[in-house]
DNA sequence: CGCGTACTTGACGCTAGTCAAGAATCGTGG
DNA sequence: CCACGATTCTTGACTAGCGTCAAGTACGCG
């Protein structure tokens, strides 16, 4: 994250690392703690009436977990990747919040950002087909997941979310995600370095296919303070 | 409509009857007139980027045409059935509106109702499959289209909208609508008296299949003041 | 009585989900 | 250091749903 508005929480914070698929905030518990994401991704999920899991949104690095009032009951927050978090007592957080107008402002900003993304998801779910949603997701991912410019000018994108999570986020299946990415590779739009890493050969094509012109430029995402950090071990040797 | 809040407009009103598929309010003209629906149905439509028509909502008997600010540009209002309307000069309407708080209240009520229905449509379009949407539509239609109780206790429903309009409203095709209604007849949920008239044998089954429990009871529709009037010529002889 | 319109029905193809069987990768223990 | 198992991703086969096209059928109107 670098020194952002949350740096002031330093003395109060307790740092934690957790593996993925770890339950953070339960369905209906009022959540005794507040978590700040430093690294990795959290997912907000619930199970639909048909037993199918829906991922309703993500918490990205720099963001603070919060139950929005728009989240219907029955949703919980889990880690979607290995994460590095910062735990704050709910009460302590509320106190700092009351003292620091800058923090309150930043938090409001975040809420707005999450609502914006949620609105886009709802639209995309209704208006786009699965393959288009996947294209849009990859395009937008360059704005909120770690990227690294490659020597040839193209972009390396690190999608560390597991397949089933991406599928449930986009309302499709892991198989379809796999098929579509490989089809995109055949069309020379992307290149699959390994299951989690793609070289984006034509961001434009992704944006076009995903009808994401608008969204790409206007959707609010947290700053990628430590952009590229996920590449330390993986893409460097390329 | 019977004597509702709009009766006071009597002296200003000019009554008109129009055939169906008649353009009432053009895409971007500021609309010099306001129309009150007395009988029949108007449709708000626009053409999507792919050339496919979408019907975004209906104006039902008792309602006043208005461009909601949420209607994106490019939408127009046409008659979906033969209609009986009441035309009012925009200016005259505005003046009466300013004088009559009751009218303003009624209008606000209507806007709320239309927004509610639109929200439901958006949800249904995203969450339900075509056949489920058709079931929900038939169930809800008993709340806003002419119905008549039959001697045996079941309900006769008059759906005077043409097939393509229903299809474009529900985001499906006329063929699918036809197939689904006939399938419902085989399942003894409804009985098709003629293409526009159905006997509802199990409203419950329709509501269940359309996941419309909630919507059926809470969605706001205008009062069916003249319920049954469309049956004068058709169902009476049964 | 014939024509036009609206609805129905059948045939066909595409999309995408599900199931199941491979392939690749990683971590663990011998 | 290698082998084994567990996990994750990929791939193929199959199927349901639904849209489209086209050919029928019914009905009303001149």
**Which residues of chain B does A126 touch, with a Cβ-Cβ cutoff of 8 Å?**
122, 125-126
| Rounded distance between C-alpha atoms, residue A153 and residue A207, angstroms | 18
Give yes or no for CB of B154 within 7 Å of strand D: no
Average pLDDT of chain B?
Answer: 86
- Give the chain B residue whose CA is nearest to the CA of A48: B127
In the numeric block, the tokens 């703690």 are attached to A33
Å between B20 CA and C5 C1'?
14
Taking only the tens place, the pLDDT of each residue in B60-112 is: 998 999 776 555 678 899 999 999 998 888 888 888 888 888 888 888 999 99
The model carries a pTM of 0.84
Å between B175 CA and D23 C1'?
14
Give yes or no for CB of A150 within 7 Å of strand D: no
**Which residues of chain A does B125 touch, with a Cβ-Cβ cutoff of 8 Å?**
126
Give yes or no for CB of B198 within 7 Å of strand C: no
pLDDT above 50 for B210: yes
> Is the distance from CB of B58 to CB of B44 less than 8 angstroms?
yes
For the record, the structure tokens of B154 come out as 């079941």
Taking only the tens place, the pLDDT of each residue in B18-54 is: 999 999 988 776 677 889 898 999 999 999 888 899 9
Å between B115 CA and D4 C1'?
61
| Rounded distance between C-alpha atoms, residue B137 and residue A107, angstroms | 42
Positions in chain D where some atom is under 7 Å from a protein CB = 8-13, 17-22, 27
The backbone torsions φ and ψ at residue B160, rounded to the nearest 5 degrees and listed phi first, read -85, -5
Taking only the tens place, the pLDDT of each residue in B54-68 is: 999 999 998 999 776
**Which residues of chain B does A128 touch, with a Cβ-Cβ cutoff of 8 Å?**
none
CB contact, 8 Å: A48 with chain B? no
**Which residues of chain B does A125 touch, with a Cβ-Cβ cutoff of 8 Å?**
126
| Rounded distance between C-alpha atoms, residue A2 and residue A224, angstroms | 10
| Rounded distance between C-alpha atoms, residue B105 and residue B211, angstroms | 31
Give yes or no for CB of A35 within 7 Å of strand D: no
In the numeric block, the tokens 């208006």 are attached to A127
| Rounded distance between C-alpha atoms, residue B36 and residue B222, angstroms | 13
The pLDDT score that the predictor gives to residue A81 is 96
Å between A58 CA and C7 C1'?
48
Q: Do A125 and B126 touch (CB under 8 A)?
A: yes
**Residue B14: CA atoms inside 13 Å, Cβ hemisphere, count?**
8
The percent of residues in chain A predicted with pLDDT above 70, rounded, is 85
Q: Do B125 and A125 touch (CB under 8 A)?
A: no
Cα dist. B85→B19, B34, B37 in Å? 11, 10, 5
Å between B20 CA and C2 C1'?
25
- Residue numbers of A between 111 and 140 with CB closer than 8 Å to B: 122, 125-126
Tell me the nearest-neighbour CA distance from A40 into chain B, angstroms.
30
Tell me the nearest-neighbour CA distance from B127 into chain A, angstroms.
8
With CA of B166 and C1' of each nucleotide, the nearest comes out as: C7
Give yes or no for CB of B164 within 7 Å of strand C: yes
Give yes or no for CB of A196 within 7 Å of strand D: yes
Taking only the tens place, the pLDDT of each residue in B140-174 is: 999 999 999 999 989 999 999 999 999 999 999 99
Residues of chain A scoring pLDDT < 50 = 1-3, 226-238
> Is the distance from CB of A23 to CB of A65 less than 8 angstroms?
no
| Rounded distance between C-alpha atoms, residue B68 and residue B132, angstroms | 28
For the record, the structure tokens of B114 come out as 């239309």
| Rounded distance between C-alpha atoms, residue A115 and residue A191, angstroms | 32
- Give the chain A residue whose CA is nearest to the CA of B126: A126
| Rounded distance between C-alpha atoms, residue B229 and residue B147, angstroms | 9
> Is the distance from CB of A118 to CB of A56 less than 8 angstroms?
yes
DSSP string, chain A: --S-TTGGGGGG-EEEEE-SS-EEE-SSS--SEEEEEEES-EEEEEE-TTS-EEEEEEE-TT-B----TTSPTT-EEEESS-EEEEEEEHHHHHHHHHH-HHHHHHHHHHHHHHHHHHHHHHHHHHHS-HHHHHHHHHHHHHHHS-EEE-TTS-EEEE--S-HHHHHHHHTS-HHHHHHHHHHHHHTTSEEEEETTEEEES-HHHHHHHTT-HHHHHHS-----TTTTGGGTTTTTT-
The pLDDT score that the predictor gives to residue A218 is 93
pLDDT above 60 for B231: no
Q: Which of B126, B170, B208, B209 to mutate to test the interface with A (most CBs of A within 10 A)?
A: B126
Give yes or no for CB of B196 within 7 Å of strand C: yes
| Rounded distance between C-alpha atoms, residue B65 and residue B211, angstroms | 29
Cα dist. A212→A154, A208, B40, B63 in Å? 19, 6, 39, 37
pLDDT above 80 for B233: no
The pLDDT score that the predictor gives to residue B130 is 97
Using only the alpha carbons of chain A, give its radius of gyration.
18
> Is the distance from CB of B64 to CB of B34 less than 8 angstroms?
yes
Q: Do B122 and A126 touch (CB under 8 A)?
A: yes
| Rounded distance between C-alpha atoms, residue A34 and residue A12, angstroms | 12
> Is the distance from CB of B64 to CB of B23 less than 8 angstroms?
no
Closest by CA to B40, choosing from B77, B80, B6, B5, is B80
The pLDDT score that the predictor gives to residue A97 is 86
What's the rounded mean pLDDT across residues B227-237?
36
Instruction: Say if residue B227 is exposed, middle or buried (CB neighbours under 10 Å; 0-12, 13-18, 19+).
Output: middle
Give yes or no for CB of B168 within 7 Å of strand D: no
């Amino acid at each position: 994250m670098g020194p952002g508005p949350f740096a002031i929480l330093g003395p109060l914070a307790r740092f934690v690392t957790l593996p993925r698929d770890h339950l953070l905030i339960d369905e209906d518990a009022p959540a005794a703690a507040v978590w700040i994401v430093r690294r990795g991704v959290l997912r907000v999920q619930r199970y639909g009436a048909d037993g199918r899991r829906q991922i309703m949104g993500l918490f990205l690095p720099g963001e603070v977990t919060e139950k929005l009032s728009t989240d219907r009951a029955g949703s919980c927050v889990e880690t979607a990747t290995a994460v590095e978090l910062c735990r704050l007592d709910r009460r302590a957080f509320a106190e700092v919040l009351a003292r620091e107008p800058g923090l309150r402002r930043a938090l409001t900003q975040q809420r707005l950002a999450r609502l914006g993304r949620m609105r886009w998801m709802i639209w995309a779910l209704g208006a786009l087909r699965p393959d288009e949603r996947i294209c849009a997701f990859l395009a937008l991912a360059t704005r909120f997941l770690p990227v690294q410019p490659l020597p040839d000018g193209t972009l390396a994108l690190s999608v560390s979310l597991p397949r089933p999570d991406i599928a449930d986020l986009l309302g499709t299946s892991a198989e379809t995600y796999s098929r579509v990415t490989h089809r995109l590779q055949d069309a020379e739009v992307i290149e699959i370095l390994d299951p989690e890493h793609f070289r984006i050969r034509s961001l434009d094509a992704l944006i076009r296919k995903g009808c994401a012109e608008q969204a790409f430029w206007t959707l609010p995402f947290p700053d990628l303070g430590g952009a590229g950090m996920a590449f330390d071990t993986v893409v460097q040797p390329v």
